[in-house]
Structure formats: structure tokens, C-alpha cells
Structure 1
Amino acid sequence: MTQAALVEPAVDHGHVEPIAIYFDDLDAMGIVHNARYAVLLERAVTPYWTARGHYFDHNGPSTPDLFHAVREFAITYHRPIRGAGQVLVHFWLDKLGETSAQYRFRFLSRDGATCYAEGRRAIVRLDPATLRPTPWTESAREVATSLLKPEEVA
């Protein structure tokens, strides 16, 4: 990983979140282990939703929309992230359905110049009692809409 200054690149959609890479995220070669990328994406997405009223605390979930499952996670690795430090995660929504959403994401260097990996993650909101898909609340739809690419906003 470079030691460049942390610069959030200008993006016309989605959000860029700086995240920390810790020693325990690394494999024996000193690069981020491939299995850690899903966790690192959560470290980026969670603060965005938390700041907008969707969070877990000692009382449980603040909204029912937090009961969702990952349906698909796909990633393409371009370059290894070496060592501990910070990287940027640019994420946005490609699609927002009645009960599902599809994120796109990129892991970027601190200066935004290098794309380490990119991919997609699809989630489905579930009814806790039946474990069947159920519609997003208006509150979740409002936050999710802020992450849609401009041409996707209805």
C-alpha cells in the first residue's frame, strides 16, 4: 500500500469511505487475505447507514431493514493491498428493487489512483419470522436512493 495522503476522490455517485486495514486482515505474505474483502466492505458501508439512522446497538436493530442477507458477492482482484494502513472504498447502488439491492464497489489506494479490487454484492431484505423476502421501508429506500447512480434514480 502506498503512503500517499488520504484524498477522497470526487465521485458523481455513491460514497467514498476510508477504512483501516489491520494486521489481522493480512495473510502470511503481508497482503490483504482474499476472504477479508467482504468484511472490509462492511466496514465501509456500515458507517454510511449508521449516520443515516440505520444501526445496531444494545437495543438491537434501529430499523427492520437491517435484517437482510447477502445473496451474491463477486470480486475481481487487480492488485494486492500490502500491509496495514488505510484504503478508500467507493460504493454505490446499481439497482434498488422492492426487496433487494445490488451494490457495486471499488477498493482504492489512499490517493484514489489505484484500484485494488472491484465487485458487486447483492442483498435481500428478509422477514425475520418467515425468512422470505419483504419490501424495504420508506426510510431505507430514501437512504438507498442517495447511493444510486444518477441515471438509476427514478
Structure 2
Amino acid sequence: MTTTAVHSHGAVVRQPVHFDDLDAMGILHNSRYAVLVERAIVIWWTERGVSFSGGRPTTPDAFNVVRDYQITFHRPVRGTGEVEIRFWLDRMGTTSADYAFQVTSADGATVHAEGRRVNIRLDPATMRPAPWTDHGRAVAAALLRA
């Protein structure tokens, strides 16, 4: 892993850090990083028509779960304000999507944390892994690292 912010590929979504996201020391609580990453990825996909509406997926690719999540913390986020969530796909498998991400300062100068997460597309009837659709792959292509 690197402590230099990625500016060359993937997506960047700003997320607010609220007072209730902070721990007793006034820094972003470790559990909130996963929430911020989740929200950023969901926002990006929703803007491209892949989401849930009325409790149902708008496309089959919206029905997916996190299988693996890893994070390394470098520098604490101190106080409220905005951070940037930078994320991209290292690999798009048949049923999996391997994301990498960074949580950076709003100006992208400081990497607070970085990690990876693997999402698996599921068949809603069987709850077993299912292939991503051609549409989902086409949308995800914008996130793939060259």
C-alpha cells in the first residue's frame, strides 16, 4: 500500500464527517471509515442507475454483498469537515469486484487510510454468487485501473 493519494484513475466522492462520527478523542472512529467508503461507492453507482428503489434492486447488479474488507490507518481524521473517498476497481471477476480505496483529506494531500473490499454479486433467489451483467460490467469499466 501507498500513502500517496491516487489521482490518475477511479472515482472521488466527497463525504462529510459529522460530530457524531468522532470518538472520545475527537478523531474519526475507526468503524466510520467503512461507512464513508460504503456511502461513496453507493452514491457513485446510484448516479449510474444501479441502486435500490422501493426495497428492490433497480438492476440485478445492485444485489451484491461485501465478502472481504481490509483497511490500514495512516493518519487520523481530526474533527468534522469533509474527506474524499477515492476508489477504483483492481479487478472485475465473473461474480466479484475487487475495489481499492483511500480516505484522503478534502484537498487530496493526506491519505488517512486505505484498503480494499471485495463485493460479490448474488442471485436473490439462491443467495449464491451470480455473474455481473453486461450492463454492470460496462458501468464498472470506468472504475477499472488500467
Q: Structure 2-normalised TM-score? A: 0.92
CA–CA distance in 2 between the matches of 1:29 and 1:11? Answer: 31
TM superposition shift of 1:59: 5.5
- Does the CA contact (< 8 Å) of 2:6 and 2:86 recur in 1? no
Counterpart-to-counterpart distance in 1, 2:55 and 2:65: 20
Identical aligned residues as a percent: 56
User: Which of 18, 31, 38 is the aligned partner of 1:35?
Assistant: 31
Superposition CA RMSD, Å: 1.4
Whole-Å Cα distance in 1 between the matches of residues 6 and 102 of structure 2?
14
Alignment partner, residue 49 of structure 1:
45
State the Cα deviation string for residues 2-47 of structure 1 (Å, max 9, x = none).
Answer: xxxxxxx882210111111111211111111111111100121111
The normalised TM-score by structure 1 is 0.88
Does 74-83 or 60-69 show the bigger shift? 60-69
AA matched with 1:148? L
Q: Which amino acid aligns with 1:125?
A: R
Matched residues in 2 for 1:142 and 1:28: separation? 44
- 1:81 counterpart = 2:77: yes
Match of 1:18 among 14, 17, 25: 14
Q: Classify the secondary structure of the residue corresponding to 1:70.
A: strand
Which of the residues 115, 120, 137 maps onto 1:141?
A: 137
Structure 2 SS opposite 1:121: strand
2:122 equivalent among 123, 126, 135: 126
Match for 1:114 among 78, 92, 110?
Answer: 110
Unaligned runs of 5+ in 1: 1-8
Structure 1 stretches of 4+ with a deviation exceeding 3 A read none
Gaps of 5+ in 2: none
Secondary structure of residue in 2 paired with 1:86: strand
Verify: 1:104 aligned to 2:100, yes or no: yes
Check conservation: 2:64, 2:120, Cα contact below 8 A. yes
Question: What secondary structure does 1:83 align onto?
Answer: coil
